[in-house]
């Protein structure tokens, strides 16, 4: 299967590390004009340096996905500079440094913060990109959810499991709303992958026995990589996935 993104414009959020960085670099390697966005300036520069070293440079922009004006500005900039917006990958999210606690200890601010970055961010980015994709009568929106959105969160964080489930609902709804313009909307739900400082801390917290148990519960008996997630995203963004929409693909080694 020959997948290429020559002359396509791709926006990837949360591209400072982990899945987002790997996804952005993969699109750039396949010829796309990539806008890699994150709130972490230093991490973004590291992403840019890796792309430059590989001979596949990309554009990096600081952007907070919970800021509607910032999102609109970035999407419009990409459309003006390249003439189009072909692919949006809503990867920004996470637990924002929170840890699992009893429900009675969760403040409204804690709850809302996780929803803001995981759900509101995906909504705002899709809202800004949709008019450009409608004009083209073609587009791909890929949301990065989590196995937590299909079951329970290994972190025990109530807001995270709920937000990722909500993002899956948004995926399905937008697929039906935008389909008549040739826009597909799909979701990749990763299993546990050691891809960033947060997941590294989570892995260490399990201890040797917990790590062994986690791996033994995976059908393939091994952890995946950020590259495994990127492969799924590139497939959904490709021409080969043109008649696939509203779907959730679990990339988790088998559960």
Catalytic residues, by residue number, are 160
Instruction: Report how many helices (DSSP H) and strands (DSSP E) the chain contains, helices first.
Output: 8, 7
Rounded to 5 degrees, φ, ψ at 217 are: -85, 0
Q: Are 188 and 145 in contact (CB under 8 A)?
A: yes
Residue 30's contacts (CB-CB under 8 Å, 6 or more residues apart) are 3, 4, 5, 6, 234
Reduce the DSSP state of residue 33 to 3 states and report it.
strand
Which helix (DSSP H) or strand (DSSP E) does residue 18 occupy?
Answer: helix 18-29
| Of 95, 187, 124, the residue nearest 150 (C-alpha) | 187
């Amino acid at each position: 299967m020959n997948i290429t993104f020559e002359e396509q414009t791709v926006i990837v959020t949360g591209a400072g590390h982990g899945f987002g960085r790997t996804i952005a670099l993969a699109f750039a390697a396949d010829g796309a004009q990539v806008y890699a966005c994150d709130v972490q300036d230093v991490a973004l520069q590291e992403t840019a340096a890796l792309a430059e070293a590989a001979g596949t440079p990309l554009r990096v922009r600081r952007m907070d996905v919970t800021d509607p004006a910032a999102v609109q500005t970035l999407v419009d900039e990409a459309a003006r500079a390249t003439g189009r917006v072909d692919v949006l990958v809503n990867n920004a999210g996470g637990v924002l440094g929170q840890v699992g606690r009893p429900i009675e200890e969760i403040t409204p601010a804690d709850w809302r913060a996780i929803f803001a970055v995981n759900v509101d961010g995906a909504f705002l980015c899709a809202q800004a990109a949709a008019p450009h994709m409608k004009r083209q009568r073609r587009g791909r929106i890929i949301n990065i959810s989590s196995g937590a959105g299909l079951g329970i969160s290994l972190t025990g964080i109530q807001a995270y499991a709920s937000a990722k489930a909500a993002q899956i609902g948004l995926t399905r709804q937008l697929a039906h709303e935008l389909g008549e313009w040739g826009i597909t909307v799909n979701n990749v739900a990763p299993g546990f992958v050691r891809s960033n400082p947060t997941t590294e801390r989570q892995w260490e917290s399990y201890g040797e026995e917990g790590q062994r148990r986690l791996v033994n519960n995976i059908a393939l008996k091994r952890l995946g990589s950020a590259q495994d997630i990127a492969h799924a995203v590139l497939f959904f963004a490709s021409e080969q996935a043109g008649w696939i929409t509203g779907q959730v693909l679990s990339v988790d080694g088998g559960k």
